A and B are shown apart, each in its own frame.
Chain A
């Protein structure tokens, strides 16, 4: 026991003594990951972390990241935002001020990305959210970018898809009024639907607040309103509850969701109730080709399940950051200036071929890319149904 302790102390002392030499030998670039490791959507955090691990593997296999002829070590710092807005802002601040990262990837959900984006922008640190589709995340924030399409795009995509596929004219919406993402998307959908089908064609616009488990009074109203389809842009844990309760209350029409459904957990929690339902998302794992397929297979082999869209988008976001850092043409070592440089390089990327599709960037730092409509098959797989481009 005591001997073991002495050995431990010796190792620690040795480590301390050698550490500074290590730093001077090869410079390090730190990339922060701001992800919900615990909290409401831990699977999203896990997917982000795993994608980052795989990315780091590639970098290390290449002996580091080469910027302007100098090789840099890359370190990934994962900070847990507990899936809470205030923790996300705290995590961003910690990554920026204490860990001194060059750029941040994440947070994923809009409710966390919006406050964290404010911090990143105030501190002049480039941040890219792979999954946040709410416009406010990047609006008037030169340092904040994203790797996915926006709600104003996804809303009409879903509204048009339902119109074309089913020809319905009356829709109901059920959403969490206390969460940025569902609230934003619900409103955009309503606008798009009423543009297609006339005012008042969203016959029920019902809401609840985060952590609610019983939706029976809202669903009873929805069923009674004569709606032909239910749109619910919720996260996977709520989707399972909403879909099951709707069926138990006698709802037999389609239920359609958005990209927040695209987690590996959705079907696990929801079971057969979710079979045959549709949602819009960033990519479909079943039937993927090329680099996307390679990524899915590698991820599946390493972690034992097919990655959801968050994993794929985080991978793309990291590669965009990598491209930007490489595109700076050399770092000065002054963190403030380097962050500025990376931001300019990010803003300068015109086109990027990611595994979630080809994207071009607008001056606001938002990509333009295609959305995919996925059908949950009778085996519980996410099946490609159709692609909708802007």
Chain B
């Protein structure tokens, strides 16, 4: 039982990353019918920007220019990095996708892959291949709850992720911009004719998705503090799986599927030989998709989808 709860907590943390990254995929896919394959690398860029901001802020605090406790630095790091990374996302949309909006969807998807490679190798060229250790902003404290070990970091990661997901949900449901995004997801050919600015909504979508990816990147770096330019690839792919599993454009679906993915990976790893973890985990997901090809909350595509 103890073992079960320990794995449950591990899975909650692990699933948070997938869920946060999957949201960005899902929104872009839902609204622009676009596979943004650069998204995993935006997650990586977010983690690196977070590293820069955190290092800068701790240096300022150490010099006495800012008398801030560490948790304030952490919150500031997350907010500033989300803000900065959302511009990276908007830039990617502006130079990578907007010129190709009328092009076949496959071309746009390939663009995403190329932008991803540019971000990875660009990072490699600027910072070198050296691994980076993310500064430990909060001192890790382990709590022993009757044989189940929880750290303050784990709690923080799960709470921050949930808060961000709820905030996004509220934004999309309650604001005018959110309504425009939902309308665009419904039909992105007709809605612009009604005066909703397509380009602005596209930028907004990318900004939101990238901001969440940045938050995921920083939380990831806090849990696994060794960064390299290629961390985005594998988690990007897996989060993409979660986005599809959740259903096209579904916020709820992406979150649930992200956590589900985390749970499957951790529990398969815990109860089966760890060597075959991904093999079994992704076979299960394939099976789910066979029976629910549109994911959990997705609707069948309308005829306008051009793939």
Contact = CB atoms under 8 A, between A and B. Distances in A.
Interface stretch (A202-210, A285-293, A305-313, A342-350): A202-210
B129 A265 contact: no
Interface in B226-242: 226, 228, 230-231, 234
A248 B133 contact: no
Contacts of A268: 133
Interface string A136-148: 0000000000000
Interface in B143-171: 144, 149, 151, 153-154
Nearest to A240: B226
Nearest to B229: A38
B297 interface: no
B269 interface: yes
Given A39-B129, A244-B225, A250-B144, A271 B151 contact: no
A12 interface: no
Contact of B130 (A43, A221, A250): A43
Given A217-B7, A268-B133, A269-B131, A248 B225 contact: no
Contacts of A206: 274
Interface string A12-42: 0000000000000000000000000111101
B107 interface: no
Contacts of A302: none
Contact of A237 (B6, B144, B226): B226
A213 B153 CA distance: 16
B55 interface: no
Nearest to B269: A217
A250 B147 CA distance: 9
B243 interface: no
B7 A37 contact: no
B128 interface: yes
B275 interface: yes
A214 interface: yes
A188 interface: no
Contacts of B133: 240, 268-269, 271
Given A214-B14, A248-B140, A248-B151, A265 B7 contact: no
A248 B224 contact: no
Interface of B: 2-3, 6-7, 10, 13-14, 124, 128-131, 133, 136, 140, 142, 144, 149, 151, 153-154, 220, 223-226, 228, 230-231, 234, 265-267, 269-270, 273-275, 277-278
Given A208-B274, A214-B224, 6 more contacts: A208-B277, A216-B7, A216-B13, A217-B277, A268-B133, A271-B133
